[in-house]
Amino acid sequence: MPTTTNIFRHIKDPISYAEGEHIFHQDDPADSMFAVIEGEVNIFVQGRLVRACGPGEIFGEMGLIEHQPRLGDAVAKTACKLAKVNEDRFNYMVQQTPNFALTVMRVLSERLRSEDLA
Tell me the mean pLDDT in the region 82-89. 93
Q: What is the Cα–Cα distance from 41 to 81, expressed in whole angstroms?
A: 10
Tell me the mean pLDDT in the region 32-52. 95
Tell which residue, 108, 87, 92, has the closest CA to residue 30. 87
Q: What is the Cα–Cα distance from 13 to 65, expressed in whole angstroms?
A: 22
pTM tops 0.85, yes or no = yes
Whole-number pLDDT of residue 117? 53
Q: What domains sit in the chain, N to C, each tagged with a CATH number?
A: 5-117 (2.60.120.10)
Tell me the mean pLDDT in the region 86-113. 88
First to last CA, the chain: 17
Whole-number pLDDT of residue 69? 95
- Tens of pLDDT, residue by residue over 56-76, are 899 999 888 999 999 999 999
